[in-house]
């Protein structure tokens, strides 16, 4: 008997990865004048493609193209015409969604069920949402005049989603952009460049320059950019803030986080367990707003941890292209080394380390879902952003102790609250120093909702009406 199965819908064969990629400048792919680098599949360590490393001269050419397109075309175009391009891009993203999801999973290591069901739909939603604003800016209250050329630098954890958060509002408001994707995940940005061609977007409105930190530095430091939008580590964010200080560039920074996920004794525990798992194991924990500190009320701590361990034992770690996979590959060898180092420090500092039995693939970069109990506020694993599938558990007795512990961090991006009482949710939302507070849910992303940080998590908001403010000359 033979079985002729059709290939999986999300099979690797639906993407066409080229051997090498140039830069996307002025509507065309051009060779870089510098060197090149390789991007790999972190689940297999297979080299996927050779990608150009943009030099200072390449960055300059991209900024010039963006400037020309802004002055001559994009800023003069009526909002309702700009909207048509954004709607067209949104629709093409939906049409090519499967291809984008597979490519994202191959280049990044994230599970296909996440890239397919979360990343790509939310990417399309952002373009649809901001397309809708393009002809309604006079109602926003944030002005109607664009800033000019936006320099945008993004990280590797949500490559296409971060691109959408940056490009959609910028274009809706009449700006042109030069975007630099992260060095380990450039491929979906380059496919997005093809989508811009397919949508007939005027040349120079979107430019993509690939490269590492030096390329990013050349871009944000370029004298002719009007706006810098950065998502990434707090360390690089601070360096960028210093680099643009004293210029009249507008800046938004979305940086790191160390969110508290707070479970009160009246919370529905099974639901909370799902939220805790989603909060820290979604995207291998490579999430700036990950619920990496579980604060659980002392009276229910034992019961909750028993349930949580049982649930963690059912998580499947492995092939990101398998649609049953819950936890995929760690994005890079460097990130894996950092996760290992911080976890070893956690153990050395005396916290209890636990992972379910799980067999990890022998090639690629992997880390099991991990729990640290008996963590105190002084422990490095309670303070530093691990950016991996590692959860620290702390306990509290009273609501005010929960607030104090939750806010005891240099970060302030997000928080979660699990309780049956509406009044407690409202109280906690006001008391927590975090840009987003989720109640009885976690990691919900919607283009209508602003996102951003307090303290060392950065400044400025992306998403929603507030996201327009960052791309308009206000009050004029």
Catalytic residues: 254, 288
Residue choice 160, 167, 182, 305 for contact with ligand NAD (CB under 6 A): 182
**283 is a site residue for ligand NAD (CB under 6 A):** no
Stretch that binds ligand NAD, among 153-161, 347-355, 359-367, 439-447 (CB under 6 A): 153-161
Structure letter (DSSP) for residue 327: B
Q: How far is the CB of 365 from Mn ion (least distance, A)?
A: 11
How many positions of this chain bind ligand NAD (CB under 6 A)?
A: 28
**288 is a site residue for ligand NAD (CB under 6 A):** yes
Contacts of 59 (CB under 8 A, 6+ apart): 178, 209, 215, 218, 219, 222
Residue 438's DSSP bridge partners are 416
Stretch that binds ligand NAD, among 62-70, 229-237, 393-401, 419-427 (CB under 6 A): 229-237
| CA separation for the pair 370, 255 (Å, rounded) | 24
**39 is a site residue for Mn ion (CB under 5 A):** yes
Query: Residue 182 touches which of Mn ion, ligand NAD, none (CB < 5 to 8 A by kind)?
Result: ligand NAD
Contact 332, 42 (CB under 8 A): yes
| CA separation for the pair 164, 241 (Å, rounded) | 23
**236 is a site residue for ligand NAD (CB under 6 A):** yes
| CA separation for the pair 447, 130 (Å, rounded) | 8
| CA separation for the pair 162, 159 (Å, rounded) | 6
**105 is a site residue for Mn ion (CB under 5 A):** no
Contact 404, 431 (CB under 8 A): no
* Binders of ligand NAD in range 317-376 (CB under 6 A): none
Stretch that binds ligand NAD, among 64-72, 100-108, 214-222, 244-252 (CB under 6 A): 214-222
Helix (H) or strand (E) run with residue 298 in it: none
For ligand NAD, the closer of residues 105 and 395 by Cβ is: 105
For ligand NAD, the closer of residues 212 and 439 by Cβ is: 212
**180 is a site residue for ligand NAD (CB under 6 A):** yes
Q: How far is the CB of 424 from ligand NAD (least distance, A)?
A: 27
DSSP per-residue string spanning 6-75: PPPTT-GGG----SEE-EEETTEEE--SS-EEEEEETTTTEEEEEEE---HHHHHHHHHHHHHHIIIIIT
CA 80 and chain centroid, separation: 29
Stretch that binds ligand NAD, among 73-81, 86-94, 180-188, 200-208 (CB under 6 A): 180-188
* Binders of ligand NAD in range 238-267 (CB under 6 A): 239-240, 254-257
* Binders of Mn ion in range 169-188 (CB under 5 A): 184
352-354 vs 370-373, strand pairing mode: antiparallel
C-alpha to C-alpha distances, 232 to 239, 309, 387, 438, nearest whole angstrom: 11, 31, 11, 22
For ligand NAD, the closer of residues 91 and 466 by Cβ is: 466
Nearest residue to ligand NAD, by Cβ distance, number only: 216
Q: How far is the CB of 225 from ligand NAD (least distance, A)?
A: 12
Find where tokens 């006079």 sit. Answer: 138
**183 is a site residue for ligand NAD (CB under 6 A):** yes
Nearest CA-CA partner of 369 in 423, 431, 424, 317:
317
DSSP per-residue string spanning 148-210: SEEEEE--SSSHHHHHHHHHHHHHHTT-EEEEE--TT--HHHHHHHHHHHHTTPPTTSEEE--
Q: How far is the CB of 252 from ligand NAD (least distance, A)?
A: 10
Q: How far is the CB of 171 from ligand NAD (least distance, A)?
A: 19
Q: How far is the CB of 112 from Mn ion (least distance, A)?
A: 15
Please give the residue ranges that form the binding site for ligand NAD (CB under 6 A).
153-157, 180, 182-183, 212-213, 216-217, 220, 231-233, 236, 239-240, 254-257, 288, 385, 387, 413, 458
Please give the residue ranges that form the binding site for Mn ion (CB under 5 A).
39, 107, 184
């Amino acid at each position: 008997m033979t079985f002729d199965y059709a290939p999986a819908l999300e099979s690797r064969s639906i993407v066409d990865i080229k051997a090498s990629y140039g830069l996307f400048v002025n509507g065309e792919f051009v060779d870089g004048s510098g060197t090149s680098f390789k991007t790999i599949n972190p689940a297999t360590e297979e080299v996927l493609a050779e990608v150009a490393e943009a030099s200072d001269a390449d960055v300059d050419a991209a900024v010039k193209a963006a400037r020309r397109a802004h002055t001559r075309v994009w800023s003069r175009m009526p909002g309702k015409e700009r909207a048509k391009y954004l709607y067209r891009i949104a629709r093409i993203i939906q049409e090519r969604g499967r291809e984008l999801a597979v490519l994202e999973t191959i280049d990044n290591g994230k599970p296909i069920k996440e890239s397919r069901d979360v990343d790509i739909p939310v990417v399309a939603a952002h373009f649809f949402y901001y397309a809708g604003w393009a002809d309604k800016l006079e109602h926003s209250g944030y002005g109607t005049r664009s800033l000019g050329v936006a320099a945008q630098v993004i990280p590797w954890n949500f490559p296409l989603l971060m691109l959408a958060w940056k490009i959609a509002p910028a274009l809706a408001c009449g700006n042109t952009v030069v975007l630099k994707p992260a060095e380990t995940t450039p491929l979906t940005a380059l496919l997005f460049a093809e989508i811009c061609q397919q949508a007939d977007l005027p040349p120079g409105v979107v430019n993509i320059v690939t490269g590492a930190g030096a390329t990013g530095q050349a871009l944000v430091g370029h004298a002719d950019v009007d706006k810098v939008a950065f998502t990434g580590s707090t360390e690089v964010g601070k360096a960028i803030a210093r680099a643009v200080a004293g210029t009249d560039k507008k800046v938004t920074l979305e940086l790191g986080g160390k969110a508290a996920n707070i479970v009160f004794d009246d919370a529905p525990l099974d639901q909370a367990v799902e939220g805790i798992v989603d909060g820290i194991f979604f995207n291998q924990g490579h999430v700036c707003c990950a619920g990496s500190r579980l604060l659980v009320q002392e009276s229910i701590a034992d019961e909750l941890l028993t349930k949580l361990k049982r649930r963690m034992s059912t998580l499947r770690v492995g092939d990101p292209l398998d649609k049953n996979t819950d936890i995929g590959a760690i994005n890079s060898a460097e990130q894996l080394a950092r996760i290992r180092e911080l976890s070893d420090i956690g153990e050395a500092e005396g916290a209890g380390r636990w992972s379910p039995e799980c067999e990890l693939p022998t090639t690629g970069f992997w880390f099991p879902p991990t729990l640290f109990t008996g963590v105190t506020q002084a422990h490095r694993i309670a303070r530093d952003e691990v950016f991996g599938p590692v959860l620290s558990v702390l306990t509290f007795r009273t609501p005010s102790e929960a607030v104090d512990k939750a806010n005891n961090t240099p970060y302030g991006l997000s928080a979660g609250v699990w309780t049956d009482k509406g009044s407690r949710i409202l109280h906690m939302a006001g008391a927590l120093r975090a840009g987003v507070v989720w109640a009885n849910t976690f990691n919900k992303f919607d283009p209508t909702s602003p996102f951003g940080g307090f303290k060392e998590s950065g400044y400025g908001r992306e998403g929603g009406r507030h996201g327009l403010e960052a791309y308009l000359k206000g009050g004029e």
